[in-house]
Amino acid sequence: MGGATLAAVTDSTDAIAGLDLTEQAALGSGASFWTTKPIGPVPSIMLTDGPHGVRRQSGSATDHLGISGSEPATCFPPAVGLSQTWDPELVERVGQALGGESRALGVQVLLGPGVNIKRDPRCGRNFEYYSEDPLLSGTLGAAWVRGVQSRGVGASLKHFAANNAEHDRMRASSDVDARTLREIYLRTFEIVVRQARPWTVMCSYNRINGVYASENAWLLTAVLRDEWGFDGVVVSDWGAVADRVAAVGAGLDLEMPTTGGTSDTEVLEAVRAGRLDADTVTRAAVRIVRLIERVTETDSTAASFDTEAHHRLAREAAQRAIVLLKNDGDVLPLAPSPLAVIGGFAQEPRYQGGGSSHVNPTRLDIPLDEIRKLAGDHPVSYAPGTDVAAAVTAAESAEAAIVFLGLTAEDESEGYDREHIDLPTEQLELLRAVIQVQPRTVVVLSHGGVVRLHDVAGLAPAMVDGALLGQAGGGALADVLFGVVNPSGRLAETVPLRLQDCPAYLNFPSESGRTLYGERMFVGYRWYDARDLPVAFPFGHGVSYTRFEYSDLVVSAADAALSVRLTVANTGTRSGREVVQVYAGMPGSKVGRPVRWLAGFASVTVEPGQRCTVEIPIDRTDLAYWSTDAERWVVEGGEYVVSVGASSRDIRLTATVTLTGDEPLLPFTGESTLGELLADPVAAETILSVLGSASPFGAADSALGSNILRMLESVPIGRMVGFSAGKVSREQLDDLLANINAQRS
Ligand code: BGC
């Protein structure tokens, strides 16, 4: 159990040497809901949720299903809030604090981060994920893992993979083409595995192209281990294993939670019957022992954590997570003055999401109390907003109104999806009534998934997006409202005008057990930009109490990277932090590509009247696309457009840069089309010189009322043997292709 060390064992293989196959199989499934089995010299460890706080059930509170209460722990902003910081350094510090709390609470593996892509705003679990963009999600996820693991606690990167809806999550198949999987849904995981080396990865409940993630050898072994070099334990999501034998064969190491030993017996029977290799069972057991060595290296029994310091960190993270969506007429920041605070979330804040990540906070800041603290001696009235007349009276007798709107815990949660993205109608009616009497009205939003904001934005001059901010969110909101903190959060997902505009609108949720990812890699802003659709607030958006100007963009190409340099000047009157975003695009690409995609970002704090230079390195892999022909990442040679902006739709500077590509020269075969051959200079010259007058194609005239050569472009060259009616033999064609391939290599 928690705190034990693998004392007598110095090497995983030593430990395994003493265990027979029955014991090795037993290591591969849970002892309880949250623990592994102690076997011989190998102690048990505890795995617990995650990701924005430690949900450690204790002693008598531990129930079979893991749904009873848990010990107090700091509730940091859930991923929906944390992602809006665009700040990996801060996320890493949150990770360190979470690692420290895990150790103090006797937890060896913390079940996070959740890095699934927000494919559709209706997914009930979007609050637990970072973004619609893989680079942002991956960079923040990697920072979280580095932080947690720096304290000797294992992270569990989840949910691997393509788990983007809650509806039918334990059966449905995510049907995704290879390029989309690689560029969007696997990309985040790849970034985290390569950059931060998590000690465990949690496979998801769903199927991918028909095969359960837990039984998917391509996913768990070929991609995760062989390509990305993952050297940790693959643990199942709780109850994700339908067939342990198939799962172990595919690369799963640990089935959670306990099965009472029944699946251990199935594994042994499969080995006896020759359906599963004994070495595969041993390999999984060695990995589990290695994990236990990693997490028990340091004795955690004496560890404790500083609840006050962690609350302060939770407040810092929440301050940075808040996005100022708009601020017409500089309604914000508020001066201490008579105020009306309206809406139930001001007194009972919505600060985390429902389900397995639910934390029992060490304390909770109430926004109304925190606003009162900063309003000085001025009166701050409060109306819950259920009685509109009372809210109107409060608003008209104040100098400004702060209206809290948002979604309740029941509206969105793990386990089910939303059917729409609207705010409750009563909330909009309340806002309309308040604004009629109080033009200086600020809306504060609390929600885990995106909500439709078109109406709110049309009414309110100022909007503050709090998403979900964790236990210290109340203080952080007050800090932003009164200007103690200059907001610098940025949206990590697009706010669409309507649900009908969303990329997966027609393919969500699953139907007859299958979800077609028909929008392919055009997810989030990639979709809205490609379709040129207006949005309510774009990806990367967020304003400040000061203003920034960008200038002097220089983009230079080096071997493995691009270097982007620019100047950011603070032309306003307050110190502020600016998140500078670099987008890449390739208008002349041979493959379909997004108009622009995030290729790098950095933030900089600038004092009023000052300027500073920002340097953002761009990795070549962030310019590549996944070639399904070559089955690898390819950087296309040619001209790239590099744009720098304050959001995906607020592009301030643009430059072009020409890169040398690394496209593979795939050999031509009989399946290559005439068009493909003619597009290659060497092949074109050879073909035209050989065919010359003996051309079987006839003239490129208009006998068919068309350009015959163009019509023939899509014909595989091998078919010409037949079409030429004996003029060109199979051997001649093979020689021709061999000759062309030799000249090109
Ligand atoms: C969730 C996981 C969680 C696990 C253990 C599952 O239902 O999908 O994210 O870590 O339960 O609570």
Q: CB under 8 Å to 655, separation ≥6 — which residues?
A: 553, 554, 555, 641, 642
**361 bridge partner residues:** 73
Distance CA 504, CA 493 (A): 14
Q: How far is the CA of 237 from the centre of ligand 1 (A)?
A: 6
Could you give the 3-state DSSP secondary structure of residue 544?
coil
- Containing 654, the helix (H) or strand (E) segment is strand 650-659
Could you give the 3-state DSSP secondary structure of residue 525?
helix
Half-sphere exposure of 442 (CA within 13 A, CB side): 27
Q: How far is the CA of 416 from the centre of ligand 1 (A)?
A: 14
Q: How far is the CA of 155 from the centre of ligand 1 (A)?
A: 13
Q: How far is the CA of 505 from the centre of ligand 1 (A)?
A: 26
Among 36, 47, 49, 204, which is best to mutate for testing ligand 1, by the most ligand atoms less than 8 A from CB?
49
Which DSSP letter does residue 416 get? Answer: B
Among 63, 65, 238, which is best to mutate for testing ligand 1, by the most ligand atoms less than 8 A from CB?
238
Q: How far is the CA of 41 from the centre of ligand 1 (A)?
A: 29
pLDDT along the chain (745 residues), means of 10: 38 79 98 96 96 87 70 97 98 98 96 98 98 98 98 98 97 98 98 98 98 98 98 98 98 98 98 98 96 86 86 98 98 97 98 95 98 96 97 98 96 95 98 98 98 98 98 98 98 98 97 97 98 98 98 90 96 98 97 98 98 96 96 96 98 96 94 93 87 54 69 90 89 94 92
Q: How far is the CA of 364 from the centre of ligand 1 (A)?
A: 24
Helices 730-744 and 681-691, axial angle in degrees (round to 10): 150
Distance CA 514, CA 516 (A): 6
Distance CA 664, CA 469 (A): 47
Distance CA 141, CA 128 (A): 12
Q: Which of 678, 583, 579 is nearest to 623 (CA)?
A: 583
pLDDT value, residue 558:
80
Q: Is the pTM of this model over 0.85?
A: yes
Question: What's the 3-state SS for 248-296?
Answer: HHHCCCEEEEECCCHHHHHHHHHHHCCCCCHHHHHHHHHHHHHHHHHHC
pLDDT value, residue 18:
87
Q: Which atom of ligand 1 is nearest to the CA of 356?
A: 12
Q: What residue owns the CA closest to ligand 1's atom 5?
A: 238
Within 6 A (CB) of ligand 1 lie: 49-50, 66, 111, 158, 237-238, 356
Q: Which atom of ligand 1 is nearest to the CA of 128?
A: 9
Distance CA 724, CA 550 (A): 62
Q: Give me Rg for the CA atoms of the chain.
A: 29
Distance CA 170, CA 414 (A): 13
Give DSSP secondary structure letters for 88-99: HHHHHHHHHHHH
Q: How far is the CA of 429 from the centre of ligand 1 (A)?
A: 38
* 237 assigned to active site: yes
Distance CA 533, CA 525 (A): 10
Distance CA 691, CA 688 (A): 5
Among 54, 237, 357, which is best to mutate for testing ligand 1, by the most ligand atoms less than 8 A from CB?
237
**Catalytic residue of the set 49, 87, 237, 417:** 237
Q: How far is the CA of 567 from the centre of ligand 1 (A)?
A: 44
Half-sphere exposure of 206 (CA within 13 A, CB side): 26
Q: Which amino acid is at 549?
A: E
Bridge pairing between strands 462-465 and 323-327? antiparallel
Give DSSP secondary structure letters for 665-702: -PPP-TTSBHHHHHHSHHHHHHHHHHHGGG-TT--SSS
Distance CA 267, CA 279 (A): 12
Q: How far is the CA of 700 from the centre of ligand 1 (A)?
A: 63
Q: Which of 329, 337, 649 is nearest to 460 (CA)?
A: 329
Could you give the 3-state DSSP secondary structure of residue 48?
strand
Residue 360: left (phi > 0), alpha (psi -120 to 50), or beta? beta
| Residue 90 and residue 138 in contact, taking contact as beta carbons nearer than 8 Å | no
Half-sphere exposure of 539 (CA within 13 A, CB side): 26
Among 68, 255, 356, which is best to mutate for testing ligand 1, by the most ligand atoms less than 8 A from CB?
356
Distance CA 59, CA 34 (A): 12
pLDDT value, residue 561:
84
Q: Which atom of ligand 1 is nearest to the CA of 49?
A: 10
Q: What residue owns the CA closest to ligand 1's atom 11?
A: 238
Give DSSP secondary structure letters for 149-174: HTTT-EEEEEEETT----TTTTT-EE
Half-sphere exposure of 592 (CA within 13 A, CB side): 10
Q: What residue owns the CA closest to ligand 1's atom 7?
A: 238
- Burial per residue of 385-398, b for 16 or more beta-carbon CB atoms within 10 angstroms, e otherwise: beebeebbebbeeb
Inter-CA distances, 200 with 86, 334, 618, Å? 25, 46, 28
**568 bridge partner residues:** 550, 612
Q: Which long-range contacts (CB under 8 A, 24 or more apart) does 598-603 make?
A: 598/133, 598/135, 598/136, 598/540, 598/648, 599/135, 599/562, 599/623, 599/642, 600/135, 600/564, 601/86, 601/136, 601/139, 603/86, 603/87, 603/488, 603/577, 603/578, 603/579
- Residue 40 buriedness (CB in 10 A; 0-12 / 13-18 / 19+): middle
| Residue 478 and residue 366 in contact, taking contact as beta carbons nearer than 8 Å | no
| Residue 322 and residue 35 in contact, taking contact as beta carbons nearer than 8 Å | no
pLDDT value, residue 62:
62
Q: Which of 155, 149, 143, 151 is nearest to 90 (CA)?
A: 143
pLDDT value, residue 8:
38
Could you give the 3-state DSSP secondary structure of residue 719?
helix
Q: What residue owns the CA closest to ligand 1's atom 4?
A: 238
Q: Which atom of ligand 1 is nearest to the CA of 205?
A: 8
Q: Which atom of ligand 1 is nearest to the CA of 114?
A: 9
Q: Which atom of ligand 1 is nearest to the CA of 66?
A: 12
Which DSSP letter does residue 562 get? Answer: E
pLDDT value, residue 683:
94
Among 63, 68, 111, which is best to mutate for testing ligand 1, by the most ligand atoms less than 8 A from CB?
111
Could you give the 3-state DSSP secondary structure of residue 429?
helix
Q: Which atom of ligand 1 is nearest to the CA of 257?
A: 5
Phi, psi for 578 (deg, rounded to 5): -115, 135
Inter-CA distances, 615 with 364, 387, 563, 644, Å? 39, 53, 7, 12
**207 bridge partner residues:** 173, 212
Q: What residue owns the CA closest to ligand 1's atom 12?
A: 356
Q: How far is the CA of 393 from the centre of ligand 1 (A)?
A: 46
pLDDT value, residue 40:
93
